[in-house]
């Protein structure tokens, strides 16, 4: 796989960083997919799955390095059976955070990998349960004031300031950050390629 160009169909610096830490140095091409139009009426898990596919396909149809592998990802946080993307306002981020204090939810990340040379697409959705610490409204207001919650699905991070609000996770922590590297390895193998070669 390392001999093939790898394209990340996402502007997420966290996804890029996780892939680079795993030895993958992707080209970044942002898809420009209208997420609300594509995912209208879908549940949280399905939204992550459909948007990952839409992003990968949109980028795969454009100008790519020869024989590129294209990875599309999308994350949705499910809390009380409702899918939460990025908060639209600080007030929304605050309300979400206060509701999550001392509770748990599931972060779904859809992963789609396209082999542009073979015309083959493989996908997988990974869920990770996130357990939140108990925190005060004042703590959440201070966190929201940093601006960090406005940039991420669910309105919290595991790899930044929001980590102090998380007791732990059940599953892959990288998935919460934005990409499950073990999942990407499985998808690479499904394409008949080897992760380390």
Distances (CA, A) of 12 to 47, 89, 118, 145, 151: 18, 20, 27, 21, 9
Rounded to 5 degrees, φ, ψ at 128 are -130, 125
74 is catalytic: yes
Cα 22 to chain centroid distance, Å, stands at: 16
**Tokens 């940039």 sit on residue:** 151
Q: Determine which one of 74, 115, 170, 172 is catalytic.
A: 74
Rounded Cα distance, 19 and 9, in Å:
12
- The torsion defined by the Cα of 148, 149, 150 and 155, in degrees rounded to 10, comes to 160
Q: Which helix (H) or strand (E) holds 40?
A: none
- Altogether, the residues listed in the chain come to a count of 197
Burial of residue 183 (CB within 10 Å: 0-12, 13-18, 19+) is: buried
Active-site residues, by number, are 74
């Amino acid at each position: 796989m390392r001999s093939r160009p790898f394209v990340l169909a996402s502007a997420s610096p966290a996804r890029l960083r996780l892939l680079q830490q795993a030895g993958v140095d992707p080209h970044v091409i942002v898809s420009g997919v209208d997420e609300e139009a594509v995912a209208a009426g879908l549940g949280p898990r399905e939204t992550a799955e459909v948007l990952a596919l839409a992003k990968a396909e949109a980028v795969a149809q454009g100008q790519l390095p020869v024989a590129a592998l294209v990875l599309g990802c999308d994350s949705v946080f499910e809390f009380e059976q409702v899918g939460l993307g990025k908060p639209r306002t600080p007030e929304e981020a605050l309300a979400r955070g206060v509701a999550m204090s001392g509770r748990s939810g599931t972060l779904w990340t859809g992963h789609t990998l396209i082999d542009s040379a073979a015309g083959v697409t493989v996908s997988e959705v990974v869920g990770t349960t996130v357990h939140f610490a108990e925190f005060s409204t004042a703590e959440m207001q201070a966190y929201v004031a940093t601006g960090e919650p406005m940039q991420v699905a669910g309105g919290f991070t595991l790899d930044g300031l929001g980590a102090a609000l998380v007791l732990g996770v059940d599953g892959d922590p990288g998935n919460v950050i934005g990409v499950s590297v073990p999942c990407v390895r499985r998808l690479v193998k499904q394409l008949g390629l080897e992760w380390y070669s």
